[in-house]
Amino acid sequence: VIGHSKYQESKRIAIFLSMSDEIQTEEIIKDIFKQGKECFIPRYKPHSNHMDMLKLSSAEDISSLPLTSWNIHQPSDDDHVREEALSGGGLDLIFMPGLGFDKKGNRLGRGKGYYDTYLERCMKHPSGKPYTIALAFREQICESVPVAENDVQIDEILYEDC
The domain of 134 spans 5-159
The pLDDT score that the predictor gives to residue 26 is: 95
Confidence of residue 162 (pLDDT cuts 50, 70, 90): low
Among 76, 79, 95, 83, which Cα is nearest to 1's? 95
In a 3-state reduction of DSSP, which class is residue 121? helix
Q: Quote the pLDDT of residue 111.
A: 79
% residues pLDDT > 70 (the chain): 99
Binding-site sequence positions for ATP:
107-115
Residues placed in the known binding site for substrate: 17, 22
pLDDT exceeds 80 at position 29 = yes
Q: DSSP assignment, residue 64?
A: G
In the chain, how many domains are there? 1
Classify burial at 6, counting beta carbons within 10 Å of its beta carbon; exposed 0-12, middle 13-18, buried 19 or more: middle
pLDDT digits (tens, 9 = 90+) for 15-27: 999 998 899 999 9
pLDDT (tens digit, 9 = 90+) per residue, 45-103?
888 889 999 999 999 999 999 998 878 899 998 888 999 999 999 999 999 999 999 99
Confidence (pTM): 0.94
pLDDT of residue 74: 92
**pLDDT tens, position by position, 128-139:** 999 999 999 999
* Binding-site annotation, residues: 17, 22, 107-115
